[in-house]
Structure 1
Amino acid sequence: MLVGKVAEAAHSIEVMWRAGLIPFPRLDEGARALLDMRRIGPIAAAARNAARRDPLAVGLVDERGPLTFKQLDLRSNALARALAERGARAGTVLAAMCRDHRGLVTTMLAAGKLGARLLLLNTGFATPQLVDVARRESVEILVHDEEFAEMAGAMPDTVRRYLAWVEGDVPADVPVLDELITSTDDRPLPPPARGGGFVLLTSGTTGTPKGAPREHTSLLSSAQFLDRIPLRAGESTFIAAPLFHGVGISQFILSFALASTVVMRRRFDPEATLAAVQEHRCTALILVPTMLRRIVDLGPEVLGRYDTSSLRIVFVAGSALPPELGNRTMAAFGDVLHNLYGSTEVAVATVATPEDWRKAPGTVGKPPVGCRVALYDEDGKRVTRPGVTGRIFVGSGLSFRGYTNGARVEVVDGLLETGDVGHFDSDGLLFIDGRDDEMIVSGGENVYPVEVENLLVERPDVLEAAVIGVPDAEFGQRLKAFVVTAPGTTLNADDIRAYVKTNLARYKVPRDVEFLDSLPRNETGKVLRSELRGSMKP
């Protein structure tokens, strides 16, 4: 056991050195980085150490232009001081409901320097969700964009509010971050008595989002991303995935740790993303699958207008990547696709490299260094045979220790359940078969919707598809498909049923088919199946 841990640590160090994360031979810089991480957390520490390495290097580019790492460090010093003067302290719960821009980044850095507990809120929240989560997490400060002012106004008067991004007239009753920053001393603050960490929220597709805290992060854990994704120091990354999501925040922290420029925009636009990749010669593009689909759907003519040859990595995570979309991505951009599987709770589980995808489209790959993945059956026995579906359990240095409300997930042999089921092929590549709680039993046969959904979207006349189970008096459950067709097509329900029957077993054919203009999705692209069930006609 000890020998294995030592070998794993050695491998992790080698991976980080190869990426440029460890500044060999300046090991004193590495030691200082570790000390900063303990004192002010991974987000603020990454920016501070990048500023030391190259103060003039551009750290962030948003709609308002570039900011160097040094400028970000000084701006966050000033904001932290301004908030401290207004009562913020170590342990204060500071929530941010912002789109991706400098105001959010500065807030995250300032929270670390204060030792505040940072809560990243989903910009797709409705007012009841915002108020409920803020109450449960004991929010004391809310930083938000002007567009969310009406919702923020529903917060209790005890919550201090600040505006991160203003497009119209500056309101008189809520302080604006830019004004606080320009009017406050930007000298470094004394380190906080303790680090506050940050809290990510689950997607909330099955109920109120739960808080998953990230209080401590080991530098060695960075190797879990770098082992199978060739990010390198000093490059440029376009992060389209929102920072409130695990995909966006993890790659943001890692990019800053590598002293790489982060390019972001407040709202996703597929063609504008390509233009920014060309302008800033981005080597990595971070997306969720729905964003990737919108880019690929632009078609060869539009894609051909932009020089994206700088891209070495198209990094996709956050929800399932259908085989047809991954194949189209590889055809459009070359062997650059990296498909990560993980969750808010376990962080990284596996990564599929371009080589893995070429070999087995649809795979989520293999565990990187520092991660373990195992499958178990319903009796808790380990599943080891290829092709046999089991519940997925994951262990890594980035796994959380429990939700903020005290709830925990099931643990087996030190591994956390993900709530998904899947199987390994004979080469050890993992495939996700679906959510454990989405399995449909129809006439005694187990069906996972993702297999039917992936088949349907392979049709050129189908843009999106979702499959759920509905009650059936004879079979217990039957399948219902929700289908979004391409413009100008004339598909009907019989066409859908015949297509599935031709390609899959009879019991996997949807009895019911409903055509929609679009599928309901959350901000990170996950299908809201609860809304599909709620919208069904009696």
Structure 2
Amino acid sequence: MLSKLGAVAEQVGDALKASKALREARLTDIKKPRRLVETFKNTKIIGPMATVMAYNSKDIPDRPAISDEHGTLTWAQVDRQSNALANTLLDAGLKPGSVVGIIARDHRAVPLAQFAAGRSGIRLALMNTGFGAAQFVEVAEREKLEAILYDEEFAGLADSLPPEMLRIVTWHEGDADFGENIRTLEEVVATGRTTMPPTPKTWGGMVILTSGTTGLPKGARRAKFSPFASALLVDRVQFPYRSSVVIVSPLFHSTGFATWAVATAGGNETVLLRRFDAEKTLAAIERHKAELLVAVPTMLHRILALGPEVIGKYDTSSLKSVVVAGSALSPTLSEAFQDQFGNVLYNLYGSTEVAIASIAKPEELRQAPGTIGKAPVSSYMVLFDDNDQRITEPNVKGRLFVRNGAPFEGYTDGRNKQILEGHMSTGDMAYFDENGLWFIAGRDDDMIVSGGENVYPLEVENLLAEHDAVADIAVIGVDDDEFGTRLRAFVVPAEGASPDADELRAHVKSNLARYKVPRDIVFVEDLPRNPTGKLVRRELPTGPLDG
């Protein structure tokens, strides 16, 4: 543990380094001290996103702010439409501190809701578009939603909420009639008052849900703004300034939200696609001359699957950075993507709870494909063994804990993560090498014991992903009478390939220990993944196999 003096010295050092990173990214300007003071003051009152939007609407009112299938909004238009939405919510009886949920694909409604919530003092809960009815209702009740913004396709979920709840449809096809008491976002921004709503006493905060791959998604509360939050990203990632970014990672997830927030702070146009399409993504990069793409690893796989001929139809030379997060980046995918698009890939590791823990730069991914890189400014990663003792030697696996300048404030149900020496558990097993590069070995609870040996499925998954006949792969542990647990691999064959189970077992056996060879190999058409690309292991069958 740090002494009080050491903690103060660390904080001062982090502040200086973070300030330098923010200046170099042009997110702050020491030549404008008054604005810096105003920014810190306003973020406590209306939140960071509404504060940034207000500056952009004054500094660059006519520059593009958001582009989607409905067209492009300038910063001046975003300013007026956010006010219209904020005033509509307040006029309907909501008050600062009320909680509004939004369940929507990636389009203008999500940023507008963020800005409107900040200006009105309302707390915004970002709901997962992969929710089933039971999950949606339970989360809505837990978060105490008083209004819901939703795309037409989620009308069935919205209808499961109390009928008196305020509803606004954020996206619809055609001229559908939703009833007398349900308005559309188009109506709201066209008729709502565009004057500035009353200034709230404090920022209402926001709720980002965890991925929920192991159960009901938990709500991660964020009601305080840390200036370190943006520095965590720009310290290791090259972000554009007043240019264009394409974000296809869901905005309701922490990665999509965090990268959008930093891009917005830099006055960039954000290009959004309601549904991911590999070729449309390349077309958007070309059309908007985007310098940054934010995606999840499965999306990169689908882009590469288009093949060189289709990829070559689009000019993507404007791309300087491609940020991936949300699920593990395999070494094979890392190498293949940079071979095609150049050294532009950044692998971000973190979670809704710990924020950004580490980022691998393009050259680090070339040096050690699949690495999660190193910690950015104000982030500290440590390993503990099963006895809660620190691990300080390289290449020794342990439980990964993180401490950084964007602290988690606890789940909305009152629970929290395990804390050791001021560091929060990530739930992952990890190690670092002699060069200080970090690697994830797998989830702590994914480890299985087979015949007395510890096995992490991720290691086997990465190896099988290298095989030309494998398009996607998942490995889990299932009960075994003889060994206690054995490995079962679910394989999505590559297009045109007919992999043989014995051939895949031989591939593993020739590279890893015998006890890491999957006993079962099951061929499937696809794997269960959530909207952020994470594998939902609980949906994979663990019982006896037919035949």
TM-score (norm 1): 0.98
Choose from 52, 61, 77 the match for 1:55.
61
CA distance in 2, matches of 1:180, 1:62: 18
Matched residue SS, 1:483: strand
Aligned partners of 2:389, 2:294: CA distance in 1, in Å?
A: 36
CA contact (8 A) 2:471 2:495 kept: no
Structure 1 contact 221–370 (Cα < 8 Å) conserved: no
Is 1:142 aligned to 2:148, yes or no? Answer: yes
Distance in 1, Cα, partners of 2:495 & 2:276? 22
Which one of the candidate residues 96, 102, 105 is aligned to 1:96? 102
1:82 alignment partner, SS class: helix
State the 1:26 CA deviation: 2.0
Q: Distance in 2 between matches of 1:497 and 1:49?
A: 58
Q: Structure 2 CA distance, aligned partners of 1:534 and 1:515?
A: 14
Q: What is the Cα deviation at residue 72 of structure 1? A: 0.6
Aligned to 1:161: 167
Structure 2 residue corresponding to 1:237, chosen from 245, 248, 267: 245
Q: Which residue of 1 aligns with 2:178?
A: 171
Alignment check: 8 A CA contact 1:33 1:49 kept: no
Larger CA deviation: 199-208 vs 149-158: 149-158
1:27 maps to 33
* Matched residue type, 1:333: F
301 and 535 in structure 1: CA distance in 2 versus 1, 3 angstrom threshold = farther
Structure 2 counterpart of 1:64? 70
In structure 1, how many angstroms separate the alpha carbons of the residues matched to 2:266 and 2:349? 22
SS in 2 for 1:364: coil
Deviation at 1:86, TM superposition (A): 0.5
CA separation in 2, counterparts of 1:374 and 1:158? 49
**Partners in 2 of 1:92 and 1:80 — Cα distance?**
12
In the alignment, which of 75, 80, 88 is matched to residue 74 of structure 1? Answer: 80
How far did 1:389 drift? 0.1
1:523 aligns with 2:522: no
Q: Helix, strand or coil for the counterpart of 1:48?
A: helix
1:295 is the counterpart of 2:268 = no
DSSP-derived class of the 2:541 partner = helix
TM-score (norm 2): 0.96
2:222 is the counterpart of 1:252: no
**Cα separation, 2, equivalents of 1:519 and 1:535:** 17
Partners in 2 of 1:8 and 1:489 — Cα distance?
51
Cα distance in structure 2, aligned partners of 1:398 and 1:70: 30
Deviation at 1:31, TM superposition (A): 2.2
1:161 to partner: Cα distance: 1.2
Alignment of 1:137-286 (within 5 A): 137-168=143-174, 169-173=176-180, 174-286=182-294
Conservation of the 8 A alpha-carbon contact between 1:383 and 1:390: yes
Aligned length: 538
1:344 is aligned to 352
Deviation at 1:154, TM superposition (A): 1.0
CA distance in 1, matches of 2:278, 2:47: 33
Q: Distance in 2 between matches of 1:365 and 1:18?
A: 21
Report the 3-state secondary structure (helix = DSSP H, G, I; strand = E; otherwise coil) of the residue aligned with 2:497.
coil
1:4 matched to 2:10? The reply is yes
How far does residue 157 in structure 1 lie from its aligned partner after superposition? 2.1
Opposite residue 487 of structure 2, the aligned amino acid is: L
Instruction: Determine the C-alpha separation between the residues in 1 that align with 2:266 and 2:495.
Output: 44
Mapped partners of 1:260, 1:488: distance in 2? 41
Once the two structures are superposed, what CA deviation does each residue of 1:448-505 show, in whole Å capped at 9, x if it has no partner?
0011001111011100111111111111111111111113322222112111111111
Structure 1: gaps (5+ residues): none
CA distance in 1, matches of 2:144, 2:229: 29
Q: Which runs of 4+ in 1 moved over 6 A?
A: none
Match of 1:421 in 2: 429
Q: In the alignment, is the contact (CA less than 8 A) between 2:478 and 2:542 conserved in 1?
A: no
Where do 5+ consecutive residues of structure 2 fail to align?
1-5
Q: Deviations over 1:237-287 (max 9, x none)?
A: 101101100010011111111111111111110100001101111000000
